[in-house]
Amino acid sequence: MNHIIELHKTNAIIWKFKYLNLFLVRDTQEVLDWLMRLNHTTTWDLFEQIWQPRITFTNARARIFDALQYLLLIHYDETNRTITATDKARAFTEWREPLPPLPNTAHDEPPAEQDP
């Protein structure tokens, strides 16, 4: 019986992760990846400093932050203004494949042309 319960728990986690992978827009997933690469608590000020040039609308950055917090992927300490990725975030990013690079961005080389 315990085996069946564990199987259902595992399936539930997989479906949660599939939902997150579908629900979270690319910028939100990139912010989450950045937090995971930091591998430590960061501050709201650093979050703003890093992401303001890429996500220029303050409202868009706030919605990303709110989504990550609402989905329990980050914890925000209002007193210290610090952001910490949760164990759920860690498990999700380990489950999800790395995001593919965006084509033709400023820091990427354009794709090579194919000979006919």
How high is the pLDDT of residue 112? 45
Residue boundaries of the structural domains of the chain: 2-95
Average of per-residue pLDDT values in the chain: 85
- If one counts every other C-beta atom within 10 angstroms of the C-beta of residue 83, the result is 21
What's the first-to-final CA gap in the chain, in angstroms? Answer: 61
CATH of 2-95 given 2.60.40, 1.10.8, 1.10.10, 3.40.50: 1.10.10
- If one counts every other C-beta atom within 10 angstroms of the C-beta of residue 74, the result is 21
Percent of the chain clearing pLDDT 70 (strictly above): 89
52-58 LR contacts (CB < 8 Å, sep 24+): 54/27, 55/27
Give the pLDDT confidence of 39-88 residue by residue, as tens digits.
Answer: 899 999 999 999 999 999 999 999 999 999 999 999 999 999 999 999 99
How high is the pLDDT of residue 106? 54
